[in-house]
Amino acid sequence: MPEGHSVHRIALQFRRNFVGQRVAASSPQGRFTAGAKLIDGRRMTDARAVGKQMFLEFENGLWLRVHLGIYGAWDFAGEITVDDTIRSAGGRMGQTNQHGTLLDSRGEDSLASMGAPRRARLRMSESEKEDDSTFVFPTEPVGAVRVRLLTDTAVADLRGPTACEVIDEARAAEIIGGLGPDPLVDDGPEVEDAVARTITSKQTPIGQLLMDQSVVSGIGNVYRAELLYRARLNPHTPGKKVPFDTARALWRDWSHLLDVGVRTGQMMTMDDLTPEQWAQAMAGREDRHWVYKREGLPCRVCGTHIVMEMMASRKLYWCPKCQA
């Protein structure tokens, strides 16, 4: 499932290539024809991500809300921006510089690897993959395309979302207001304290709280497992028993990992790597994480076998010794 960093990168693609442009909206699949008509021919005025949800605003005051869910993806084609640094195996895109350039408050201008628009095709979901085969613009819709957004120079096709609806500004504000803080939207010590207060006021295990989008936005299965390992927290610890400073540190670490994810396009959760180790991690997920998808393998620190169990119907990965 795409996590917060992916949705922020998709919103960036829209801001760079669609905002300010008049958009032809359609539903090739036919399941969203009525919704598409509401925004067809309107100019896109904003694109923003909050956690795992994205909101595209149009000049008539309506918003297209999209939640990709498990299977959703956006396909872009035309004169679009593509991460041009280093492509790892399988077409995923990342950059070799671990530190990169810091994000601004909207996460826009620091993606130095995103060059000037060029003719390309790009699929964006949990990972990103460029298709460098020849094509005629606009490309023909392929498969079950729920929504097609088309300008004179770019097209975006949405497939398989969990949620796709046109809403008004009041409803958009209501939905966003029900989401927990997102480090690229909400920042400052007061947000850090608010997140810590929420976590430490609940009896729910911390492993579930981090996945609760009303507590913190954008964290999914990968980041949940890695954040808990980095904090050496047992995922079954009730929120009330998590020290306040530890809860505050979780928010700061989430801000850090989200920053890295938006800059690189990868859920990189290991720090202090050599350039060679960094390049290797960019090339394969097995070298990118501490515990995620490593069940049965020895912990990188203590050697204990990593455990996989189900928590609230989702797979949880952790080290029984480091996180005891």
Indicate which residue of 43, 119, 314, 315 is catalytic.
Answer: 314
Report the candidate in 292, 288, 293, 261 with the shortest Cα–Cα distance to residue 7: 261
Token match 């938006």: residue? 262
> Is residue 314 among the annotated active site residues?
yes
- DSSP-derived letter for residue 241 is G
> Is residue 52 among the annotated active site residues?
yes
Instruction: Answer for the pair 297, 305: CB distance below 8 angstroms, yes or no.
Output: yes
Tell me which amino acid residue 79 is.
Answer: E
Indicate which residue of 9, 15, 48, 52 is catalytic.
Answer: 52
Q: Is the sign of the CA dihedral 145, 139, 24, 158 positive or negative?
A: positive
> Is residue 3 among the annotated active site residues?
yes
Q: How many CA atoms lie within 13 A of 131 on its CB side?
A: 12
Token match 């393998």: residue? 297
Give kind and range of the element (H or E) at residue 24.
Answer: strand 22-26
Tokens of 321: 């010794």
Does a cis peptide bond (omega within 30 degrees of 0) precede residue 138?
A: yes
Catalytic machinery residues: 2-3, 52, 314
